[in-house]
Amino acid sequence: MTYTPLPGTRAPVRVWTDPYGIEPQAAQQLRNIGALPWVQGVAVMPDVHFGKGATVGSVIAMRQAVSPAAVGVDIGCGMSAVRTSLTADDLPDDLAALRRRIEDAIPVGFAQRASAVDPRRVRGLEQAGWDAFWRRFADLHVGVAKLSGRAQNQLGTLGGGNHFIEVCLEQGGPDAGRVWLMLHSGSRNIGKELAERHIAAARALPHNTDLPDRDLAVFLAGTPEMDAYRRDLWWAQEYARRNRAVMLAVLCNVLREQLPQVTYDEPISCHHNYVAEETYDGVEVLVTRKGAIRAGRGDLGIIPGSMGTGSYIVRGRGNPDAYCSASHGAGRRMSRGQAKRTFDTDDLAAQTAGVECRKDAGVVDEIPAAYKDITEVMKQQDDLVEVVAHLKQVVCVKG
- 287 within 8 A of 296, measured Cβ to Cβ: no
Strand partners, 293: 326
- Determine if residue 272 is left, alpha or beta; phi over 0 gives left, psi from -120 to 50 gives alpha, anything else beta: alpha
> In angstroms, rounded to a whole number, what is the distance separating the alpha carbons of residues 260 and 244?
22
CB atoms within 10 A of CB 369: 16
In the DSSP assignment, the letter for residue 187 is: -
> In angstroms, rounded to a whole number, what is the distance separating the alpha carbons of residues 167 and 95?
10
Distances from the Cα of 138 to the Cαs of 147, 186, 239, in angstroms?
Answer: 11, 21, 14
Of 184, 271, 328, 390, the catalytic one is 328
CB atoms within 10 A of CB 305: 23
In the DSSP assignment, the letter for residue 371 is: B
- 59 within 8 A of 288, measured Cβ to Cβ: yes
Is the torsion defined by CA of 17, 25, 307, 255 positive or negative?
Answer: positive
CA 39 to chain centre: 23
Is the torsion defined by CA of 174, 267, 158, 334 positive or negative?
Answer: negative
Question: One-letter amino acid identity for 328?
Answer: H
End-to-end CA distance of the chain: 36
Parallel, antiparallel, or unpaired for β 13-15 and 39-49? parallel
- Give backbone dihedrals phi and psi of 83, rounded to 5 degrees, phi first: -90, 140
Strand partners, 304: 311
> In angstroms, rounded to a whole number, what is the distance separating the alpha carbons of residues 170 and 82?
12
Choose among 331, 326, 208: nearest CA to 270. 326
Q: Catalytic site residue 390?
A: no
Parallel, antiparallel, or unpaired for β 311-316 and 300-304? antiparallel
Catalytic residues: 328
